[in-house]
Amino acid sequence: MSETLSTDDETITAGPETGLGRSCDHRSGAATDLRRVGINPNFWYPVAVSRDVRKKKTFAATFAGERIALYRGDSGTVYALEDRCAHRQIPLSMGVVEGDVLRCCYHAWAYRGNGRISQIPYLPRGAARPPRGVRAYPVREAYGLVFVFPGDPHNAAETALPELPEFNSARHKTMTFSRTVGCHYSFMHENLLDMNHQFLHRGVVGRIQPTLLAYDTSPHSVEARYRFTHAGGKKNRGAGLLTAKGAGGTASPDVITIRTAYPYQTLQLVPENAELPAFSLWVAYVPEDAEQRTNHVYGLLMIEKPPIPGAMHLAWPLIRRFTERVFAEDRTAVEAEQRAWDEQGEDWNREVFPLIMDVRHVLRTNGVPLRPESALCGAAAFCSNPPLASTTPHAEPDAGHKRPTG
Ligand code: FES
Ligand SMILES: [Fe+2]
């Protein structure tokens, strides 16, 4: 059945009704509510900014309800252990770093970086066999971030870290973002990909007219290209510095390419008639809690330096202020979306923009079933969850879920 709605000046033909006036994405059928889809742990995820993990110190990190104790040993290497002592479960992040070993603060059991217990100081002869240790996560440091691999560790070596050539380029300077946003990571992908929300930013960027030039979808990605035309209104100075190639910028339209390449997102802005991007943004949304209603945003904004020496130094605080203002507006919107979802208990979205329907499909089919009990378990990586694409909607938690070795 289709329905025709009349407005003052036009007629809109709506598609078939579904249930309680709630429509589904065009590809989802009886799909799982996207806000109940867990992020796939079989990728590298940043869980800390490198400079926050100081030598001989611990750092309490988290991934989707799994608590992770990071520590940097004397050698400078960062290790990541399940954040619970195998003895009495208190967080190892409360412990003390000795050399490259982490010693629990309570009875001083010592752990190597691979999670194995290397010493129990008071173990008497003939005592019961102690546990072997706790889980260790594969760790890598890159781009000023500490990445862990929370999925099946056997997949870690063959899973590439993101490639960000601009990070190390002398022509670019990187601004790092790290903050928690109170919403499911899917809202973040939708927010950045759907540039039709410039109305939200009208106070900062003036009247921006986004035109979708093209978009492309694959099983793991959605890429959209927009032309941004400034159609009047006051434009923030930081925005001008960021988008118009520094102080000598022009008012020409910009082309913005945004890509969700599961599980990351990127945005590049190329001023019209320019060959290289004025800036590139790489971002990861890392769920913090087991229900994944909160995510930690790690962003790297790689900005091309203007040709005038010292100009970047002067522009930096203005660019920072501009990006913070835009981010604050986006945060307000996505957190309000999450609150609506919490109050409604399910996703009542009625999406109309095809590429957003596509990104919802990508996030759903590449994700895994949510595992609310993982907060208690801390061992989700031992569950080899298949992606949702090959599971039935609302699949029951994997019965084969194993406890860590201990
Ligand atoms: S609780 Fe860690 S050593 Fe006892
Ligand atoms: Fe925005």
Is 31 within a domain? Answer: no
Quick one: 173 and 90 in the same domain?
no
Averaged pLDDT, 28-47: 89
Residue 404 has pLDDT above 60, yes or no: no
The share of the chain scoring above pLDDT 90, in percent, equals 64
The total domain count for the chain is 2
Q: What pLDDT, in 10s, does the model give residues 267-321?
A: 998 876 777 788 999 999 999 999 999 999 999 999 998 888 888 888 899 999 9
- Shortest-distance ligand to the CA of residue 106: 1
Residue 60 has pLDDT above 80, yes or no: yes
As a three-state string, the secondary structure of the chain is CCEEEECCCCEEEECCCCCCCCCCCCCCCCCCCHHHEECCCCCCEEEEEHHHCCECCEEEEEECCEEEEEEECCCCCEEEEECCCCCCCCCHHHCEEECCEEECCCCCCEECCCCEEEECCCCCCCCCCCCCECCECCEEEECCEEEECCCCHHHCCCCCCCCCHHHHCCCEEEEEEEEEECCCHHHHHHHHHCHHHHHHHHHHHCCEEEEEEEEEEECCEEEEEEEEEECCCCCCHHHHHHHCCHHHCCCCCEEEEEEEECCEEEEEEEECCCCCCCEEEEEEEEECCCCCCCEEEEEEEEEECCCCCCHHHHHHHHHHHHHHHHHHHHHHHHHHHHHHHHHHCCCCCCCCCHHHHHHHHHHHHHCEECCCCHHHHCCHHHCCCCCHHHCCCCCCCCCCCCCCCC
Average the pLDDT over each of 10-19, 147-156, 283-292, 355-364 and give the range with the smallest value.
10-19
Averaged pLDDT, 174-183: 97
Is 221 within a domain? Answer: yes
Quick one: 214 and 338 in the same domain?
yes
Average the pLDDT over each of 130-139, 170-179, 229-238, 387-396 and give the range with the smallest value.
387-396
Answer with the one of 155, 184, 202 that is the final residue of a domain: 155
Averaged pLDDT, 323-350: 95
Residue 49 has pLDDT above 50, yes or no: yes
Quick one: 172 and 294 in the same domain?
yes
Quick one: 128 and 200 in the same domain?
no
pLDDT of residue 205: 84
Q: Whose CA is nearest to atom 1 of ligand 1?
A: 88
Quick one: 266 and 209 in the same domain?
yes
118 C-alpha to center of ligand 1: Å?
13
Average the pLDDT over each of 13-17, 177-181, 301-305 and give the range with the smallest value.
13-17
Residue 386 has pLDDT above 50, yes or no: no
Which CATH number does the domain housing residue 269 bear? Answer: 3.90.380.10
Is 320 within a domain? Answer: yes
98 C-alpha to center of ligand 1: Å?
16
Where does the pLDDT of residue 124 fall: very low under 50, low under 70, confident under 90, or very high at 90 and above?
confident
Q: Which domain holds residue 193?
A: 165-362
Q: Which residue has better confidence, 315 or 138?
A: 138
Residue 252 has pLDDT above 90, yes or no: no
Is 287 within a domain? Answer: yes
113 C-alpha to center of ligand 1: Å?
17
Is 307 within a domain? Answer: yes
Quick one: 260 and 311 in the same domain?
yes
87 lines ligand 1 (CB under 6 A): yes
Quick one: 145 and 274 in the same domain?
no
Q: Whose CA is nearest to atom 3 of ligand 1?
A: 107
192 C-alpha to center of ligand 2: Å?
6
Where does the pLDDT of residue 233 fall: very low under 50, low under 70, confident under 90, or very high at 90 and above?
low
Where does the pLDDT of residue 228 fall: very low under 50, low under 70, confident under 90, or very high at 90 and above?
confident
pLDDT of residue 24: 43
Which ligand 1 atom is at minimum distance from the Cα of 86? 2
- Shortest-distance ligand to the CA of residue 94: 1
Which CATH number does the domain housing residue 52 bear? Answer: 2.102.10.10
Where does the pLDDT of residue 238 fall: very low under 50, low under 70, confident under 90, or very high at 90 and above?
low
